[in-house]
Structure 1
Amino acid sequence: MMINRRAVTLGLAAVAAAGAGATWYLTRSKARAMASPQTSPVALKPVVMGLDNPWGLAFLPDGTALVSERTGTLRRVDVTAAALSNPISGVPVVDSDGQGGLLGIALDPDFTTNRLVYMSFAEPGDEGNCTAVFRARLSDDAASLENGTVIFRQNRRAKSGHHFGSRLVFGRDGHLFVTTGERNVLRDQAQDPASHVGKVLRITRDGAPAPGNPELPGWAPEVWSIGHRNMQGAALHPDTGVLWTVEHGARGGDEVNTPQAGKNYGWPVISYGREYSMLQIGEGTAKAGMEQPLHYWDPSIAPSGMAFVMSDTYPGWKGSMLVGALAGQHISRLSWEGETVVAEEQLFLGDTRFRDVVEGPDGRIYVLTDASAPDGALMVITAT
């Protein structure tokens, strides 16, 4: 008999929380502790306003930051002066329909010498759009992108505005993880290892398959793991260097995973969510040969960007994971013991959709809010 590790973990956590006076409830026969309201003495402070659906954030060595706007614009923010640049030229043409557009952003590990920037985007085409990765050199004055080229594009296209995934994370070995969604209309292909949709991909800085990827029958050489729905958050664990991701479920079933080479994470065969019609998804919540999430949310919070807290700026936060919530309209702070969530705090719960979360070089946490201009903002969390 297969033991459902996730069910056992949830049950024990809920019992412990209930003993401490927390409220808990049952969901599909699993006891689960409810997230607690904000108790941390922190506040949000605007850095710049006027962004148009900001999506990705990356800090430059000089302390300024690049911000991608889903509508197709890249800007530079002077955090100290609270100043927003004009659009940076040289950005690729994007398909900004629905959830598509200019999305994730990452700096080359050797940026200080080569000034290379990588961006994922929804690339338009006659046969539909796809998630692609663009690489270019940021000019010395940070006003333009030079020698831009698409180094990678998915091997499947779809006429859809949904589920592009699109976080970019460099591993400690210098290779690039790319998260992709299953485009909604192609969701069964999340289980097809030859397809790039619904996958964690791992490529070199030139876009070739990275050495050390799984060498399994029928697997595309860029594929690292399969069975994902729509991963919009990804980060390396600060101690282990292991990739962690968060992905959207459907109606419930948002997940935290540590995708491992050659593993299958289940979508759409297993899920803790349901169809939007409330029908069951696939075969249930577990199946032999498919991985269980480390944590899931039900109801859904629609998780987006994520970061681990590495600084001592916020008392009690070091080692926590912060996850932006779109539908949930808060930032979730997860406290971990190993790979088990022991507490969850909902920060800034209200009417703001949070798109990305990044720890800056000054040790402070910066967040992007998901709104069109003039309401899109870069904000900083301050200790009060």
Structure 2
Amino acid sequence: MNLHVITVSNRRLLSTVAAGLLAATSTIVAAQSGMNTTSLKSTVVLENLENPWDMAFLDDNTMFFTEKCKGLSVLMPNGEVNALLGMGESEGYPSTMSDLFCEGQAGMMGVAIDPAFGDNRRIYVYSTSNMSNPHTNRLMRLVVNDDFTAVSDRTDIVDDVPYKMKASAHPFGGPGAHNGGRVRFGPDGNLYLTTGDNHNEEIPQSPTLMGSKVLRIDTDGNGAAGNTPPKGFDPRTYTYGHRNVQGIAFHPETGTPIVAEHGPWHSDEITVLENGGNGGWDPRQNMAGRGECPDEYCGYTPNQMSGMDRHERAAHMPMTDMITYPNAMPPIWTNNGWSQGTSSAAFLEGEQWGDWNGAMVVGSMGIGFGGTSLGQRIDVIQMTTDDGQIALEDVTEMTLPMEAKRFRSVVLGPDGNLYTAVDEGMIYKLAPGD
């Protein structure tokens, strides 16, 4: 087997799918429901990256990708990597934007390609900016030049997603926390942007603060026609009351948006969204039997209570509080009282996936109670759509060759294979075996 190595911008490209380069490949077995198994081939696409966060593909397998503290780049079908836009003082980029920065969980995050890219050359990137004080997260619209070597015409179509400026007294209280960050076009042609609560107790249920929301907007940043948020809410709001959604994908049969969401050391959830719906997260103190909490944010308090197991903690401070909000959107899946850092989500499509065709895959980063490392994995979530209602059918864990990887992003490529970015600095391709 030949091994092709191309060094570009201090990155080693081990394989380029569209160019047909062969790389060192390992066969893995992913258990499915029932008695069937599917052999997967795992190939490293890029390595020596710095916290790759997201990817987006053109039909010819051109892949835009972000690195949280560096910037935006593109992997071309011929194997070349072109740096496009750097953050702050990033080196090796043809241009940088001085207001973009990274801190804690914040930085350059989600990326999406305009469905009309062939005509308008537009892409959309979500990043943290210090252009204002307090700082904000912004969704930028950029134009890519014809040879994929530069971007221009920055327009901030969303400039008011809250950013956490300072540390807190509660656990994991550093600045830059809980930004959400996934950007995806839905089958309805609208942009969906997920945002987080910043460890700010007021944000989730706020009608005007654009954290803890799923925004549905047009390509100019206006609220999409058909949004039905509650009276008094910002018209860009599709759903609210979330904690920190980093995964959103659309059911291949119904087009329904479904999110994967981080829980507070418990209760990671997968939820089928309803237009105008409430995710039920409300970490304010002195309500629903709670007392005072550190920095008035109760999102972690149950985990500090002695004598409670993880299920009791989840019941005391659920991510979806159906008691306070009986009409909240109920999750179709929770992970049994442990938080394992659910991140991105995608649907597998194509007969090559066998029993998994049409299933949702969700990456986990392995964050457990007390900082323990649990469940760094990819789960396969199979669903039913009886009478148009989406419900959970089965959950299966993929068995992967890599150990202790934090699966930050999972994206289905135009070749039908699954691509995943891991915090450890690599992007992999997972392809069904022969």
Q: Could you tell me whether the CA contact under 8 Å between 1:169 and 1:236 is conserved in 2?
A: no
Q: Which residue of 2 aligns with 1:145?
A: 151
Counterpart pick for 1:46 among 39, 44, 47:
44
Counterpart pick for 2:130 among 101, 124, 130:
124
> Take 1:365 and 1:245, find their aligned partners in 2: how far apart are those partners?
18
Pairwise CA distance, 1:114:
0.7
Counterpart pick for 1:336 among 375, 383, 397:
383
- 1:223 aligned to 2:205? no
Q: Which residue of 2 aligns with 1:204?
A: 218
| Aligned residue type for 1:313 | Q
- 1:104 aligned to 2:110? yes
| Aligned residue type for 2:426 | A
Structure 1, gaps ≥5 residues long: 1-34
> Take 1:110 and 1:87, find their aligned partners in 2: how far apart are those partners?
20
Pairwise CA distance, 1:293:
0.7
Cα pair distance change 1:50/1:214, threshold 3 Å: same
Pairwise CA distance, 1:340:
2.6
Cα pair distance change 1:237/1:272, threshold 3 Å: farther
Q: Which residue of 2 aligns with 1:30?
A: none
Q: Could you tell me whether the CA contact under 8 Å between 1:118 and 1:133 is conserved in 2?
A: yes
- 1:290 aligned to 2:328? yes
CA-to-aligned-CA distance 1:2-21 (integer Å, 9 cap, x gap): xxxxxxxxxxxxxxxxxxxx
Pairwise CA distance, 1:126:
5.3
CA-to-aligned-CA distance 1:29-49 (integer Å, 9 cap, x gap): xxxxxx99x954224211111
Q: Which residue of 1 aligns with 2:317?
A: 281
| Aligned residue type for 1:308 | F
| Aligned residue type for 2:377 | H
Q: Could you tell me whether the CA contact under 8 Å between 1:95 and 1:129 is conserved in 2?
A: no
Cα pair distance change 1:322/1:170, threshold 3 Å: same
> Take 1:176 and 1:55, find their aligned partners in 2: how far apart are those partners?
18
Q: Which residue of 2 aligns with 1:13?
A: none
Runs of 4+ aligned residues of structure 1 deviating over 6 Å after TM superposition are 270-274
Q: Could you tell me whether the CA contact under 8 Å between 2:164 and 2:177 is conserved in 1?
A: no
Q: Could you tell me whether the CA contact under 8 Å between 1:202 and 1:210 is conserved in 2?
A: yes
| Aligned residue type for 2:391 | T
Q: Could you tell me whether the CA contact under 8 Å between 2:227 and 2:235 is conserved in 1?
A: yes
TM-score for the superposition, normalised by structure 2: 0.73
Pairwise CA distance, 1:303:
0.9
Equivalent runs, 1:232-243 vs 2, <5 Å: 232-243=246-257
| SS of corresponding position for 2:427 | strand
> Take 1:151 and 1:72, find their aligned partners in 2: how far apart are those partners?
22
TM-score for the superposition, normalised by structure 1: 0.82
Pairwise CA distance, 1:267:
0.4
> Take 1:331 and 1:202, find their aligned partners in 2: how far apart are those partners?
27
| Aligned residue type for 1:85 | N
| Aligned residue type for 1:242 | T
> Take 2:48 and 2:258, find their aligned partners in 1: how far apart are those partners?
31
> Take 1:170 and 1:305, find their aligned partners in 2: how far apart are those partners?
14
| Aligned residue type for 2:81 | L
The alignment's C-alpha RMSD in Å is 2.6
Q: Which residue of 2 aligns with 1:114?
A: 120
Pairwise CA distance, 1:144:
0.7
- 1:352 aligned to 2:350? no
| Aligned residue type for 1:319 | G
Q: Which residue of 2 aligns with 1:84?
A: 81
| SS of corresponding position for 1:316 | helix
Pairwise CA distance, 1:162:
0.4
Cα pair distance change 1:123/1:242, threshold 3 Å: same
Q: Could you tell me whether the CA contact under 8 Å between 1:48 and 1:84 is conserved in 2?
A: no
- 1:361 aligned to 2:408? no
| SS of corresponding position for 1:315 | helix
